[in-house]
């Protein structure tokens, strides 16, 4: 199994190209199931999760091809994927696939809407919490689906098609919003989705659906109005830049000191994160084509208190990275995790490097230390893993991160992007 070895202590200087967003690419790929025409996606990041989902879609009968790779003057632009779901040959998403990547559960809505039937394995547990799917199922039931759970599978039918309705989510869920929104595009009549998630990746998918002929109003707000159509068409869409990758590298620069331009990053996607980093003493500046992040000499200031929240609040997917930064702040910071109940696995690994973090329920109190010391640590999930990379970059001596396959699920060319800016980081294969 691959490991990552980091010799900490180097400031980061240079340019880091921001890739297309994983959390937009995945649902955009799934949107291809809604039409028999070709959906072309540009700026798709080369990630393990993307490649696995492409395999899952091929299983359903989707034809998938990839254009030649990232030639040209804009290095952050990713690959171009084409998907054509002319004939869907299999409406089952098996456990072996869905258990490996939770987002593949999201094929449920589109399969049901287009074919009136879908058998999708329940995703099962996950390292960061129980992550139920009740909101997805209630939303689809409200659209007229008949849903049973049989042997760990969601067996969904809509023999007379789906019918538009008003759905008010009791809780904000990114996945449930994706699932119901896509299904509603092919339902009969109008669907109103209230308390919809406002994450930019939902807006990106909604804009793609509009290009495919869907009628959606309220994009970017918590109330979406969808007028169902009998069919959607093909389209071409460019995946938006990854705000979690942007925030992660911004935290890394804040952690090591230095001066980096995040090329292709867009400020409106990361306002809450940049505001937190500014409080920590980081200089942020809009520059042509990106965002410049710098910390030259100034100490890291603690952040009195921050809570993770649905967008536009501070994202749970950056909680671990911010915590890594706070381990060396001059004072005490409090981070409260309100989205997932068990998203603190990085805490004990950060402690191995010398961090001082007390956990109480959903709250972590981080008392900054003068120095972290390199050690062996274990990656536990995607975002926790990258927080260990940040901590390793701050630590004195060598840090070795085991089980880095978690990183490959969501960060494209992580070591290359960091080492181009002066980090001493290498992958040890095997």
Nearest-angstrom CA–CA distance, 353 and 394 = 10
Cα separation of 308 and 280, whole Å? 17
| Distance of closest approach, residue 138 Cβ to ligand UD1, in angstroms | 8
What does the DSSP 8-state code read for residue 373? B
Please, what is the Cα angle at 59 between 164 and 409, to 5 degrees? 90
The two beta strands, 190-194 and 166-168, are parallel
- How far apart are CB 342 and ligand UD1 at their closest, in Å? 10
**Alpha-carbon gap, residue 264 to 242, rounded angstroms:** 9
Interface with ligand UD1 (CB under 6 A), residue from 18, 186, 214, 339: 339
Contacts with ligand UD1 by CB under 6 A: the residue count is 22
101 contact partners, CB below 8 Å, separation of at least 6: 49, 52, 53, 56, 409
Long-range CB pairs of 293-298, under 8 A, 24+ apart, other chains included: 293/249, 293/250, 293/253, 293/254, 293/259, 293/260, 293/261, 293/262, 294/253, 294/258, 294/259, 294/260, 295/253, 295/254, 295/257, 295/258, 296/257, 296/258, 296/259, 297/257
Asked if 175 touches ligand UD1 (CB under 6 A), the answer is: yes
Indicate the residue among 26 and 56 with the shorter CB distance to ligand UD1: 26
Candidate residues 86, 166, 171, 215; the one interacting with ligand UD1 per rule CB under 6 A:
171
Our finding on whether 11 is near ligand UD1 (CB under 6 A) is: no
Beta-carbon contacts of residue 215 (< 8 Å; ≥ 6 apart): 226, 227, 229
Determine if 317 is a binding residue for ligand UD1 (CB under 6 A).
yes
Contact status: 260 vs ligand UD1 (CB under 6 A): no
Torsion from C-alpha of 380, 384, 386, 387, nearest 10 degrees: -130
Q: Which of 126, 208, 251, 421 is catalytic?
A: 126
- Region of 3-11, 168-176, 265-273, 421-429 interacting with ligand UD1 (CB under 6 A): 168-176
Task: Rule CB under 6 A: say whether 131 interacts with ligand UD1.
Answer: yes
**Closest separation between CB of residue 123 and ligand UD1, Å?**
8
C-alpha 365 chain-centroid distance: 25
**Which CB atom, from 134 or from 286, has the smaller least distance to ligand UD1?**
134
Residue 173 binds to ligand UD1 (criterion: CB under 6 A):
yes
Between 41 and 421, CB nearer to ligand UD1: 41
Binders of ligand UD1 in range 20-49 (CB under 6 A): 23, 26
316 binds ligand UD1 (CB under 6 A): yes
**Per-residue x/- track, 96-115, ligand UD1 (CB under 6 A):** ------xx------------
Q: Is 126 a catalytic residue?
A: yes
Task: Show which residues are catalytic.
Answer: 126
- Residues that bind ligand UD1 in the complex, under the rule CB under 6 A: 23, 26, 102-103, 129, 131-136, 171, 173-176, 197, 201, 316-317, 339-340
């Amino acid at each position: 199994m691959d490991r990552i070895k980091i010799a900490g202590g180097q400031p980061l200087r240079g340019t880091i190209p921001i890739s297309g967003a994983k959390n937009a690419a995945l649902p955009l790929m799934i949107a291809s199931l809604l039409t028999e025409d070709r959906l072309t996606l540009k700026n798709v990041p080369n990630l393990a999760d993307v490649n696995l989902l492409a395999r899952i879609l091929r299983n359903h009968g989707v034809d998938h091809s990839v254009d030649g790779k990232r030639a040209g003057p804009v290095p952050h632009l990713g690959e171009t994927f084409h998907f054509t779901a002319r004939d869907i040959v299999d409406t089952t998403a098996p456990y072996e696939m869905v258990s490996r990547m939770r987002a593949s559960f999201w094929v449920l809505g589109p399969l049901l809407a287009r074919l009136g039937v879908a058998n999708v394995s329940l995703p099962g547990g996950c390292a960061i919490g129980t992550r139920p799917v009740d909101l997805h199922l209630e939303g689809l039931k409200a659209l007229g689906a008949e849903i049973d759970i049989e042997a760990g599978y969601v067996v969904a039918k809509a023999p007379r098609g789906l019918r538009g309705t008003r759905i008010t989510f009791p809780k904000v869920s990114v996945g449930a919003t994706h699932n119901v929104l896509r299904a509603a595009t092919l339902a009969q009549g109008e669907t109103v989705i209230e308390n919809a998630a406002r994450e930019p990746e939902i807006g990106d998918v909604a804009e793609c659906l509009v290009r495919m002929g869907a009628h959606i109003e309220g994009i970017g707000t918590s109330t979406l109005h969808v007028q169902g159509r009998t069919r959607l068409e093909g389209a071409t869409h460019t995946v938006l830049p990854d705000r979690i990758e942007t925030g992660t590298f911004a935290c890394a620069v804040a952690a090591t000191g230095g001066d980096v331009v995040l090329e292709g990053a867009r400020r409106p996607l990361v306002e809450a994160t940049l505001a937190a980093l500014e409080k920590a003493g980081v200089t942020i500046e809009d520059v042509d084509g990106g965002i410049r992040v710098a910390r030259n000499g100034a100490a890291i200031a603690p952040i009195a208190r921050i809570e993770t929240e649905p967008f536009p609040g501070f994202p749970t997917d950056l909680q671990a990275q911010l915590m890594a930064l706070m381990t060396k702040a001059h004072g005490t910071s409090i981070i409260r995790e309100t989205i997932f109940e068990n998203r603190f696995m990085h805490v004990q690994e950060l402690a191995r490097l010398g961090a001082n973090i007390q956990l109480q329920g959903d709250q972590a109190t981080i008392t900054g230390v003068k120095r972290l010391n390199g050690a062996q640590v274990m990656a536990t999930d995607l975002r926790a893993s990258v927080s260990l990379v940040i901590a390793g970059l701050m630590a004195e001596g060598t840090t070795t991160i085991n089980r880095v396959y978690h990183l490959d699920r969501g960060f494209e060319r992580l070591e290359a992007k960091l080492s181009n800016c002066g980090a001493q980081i290498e992958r040890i294969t095997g």
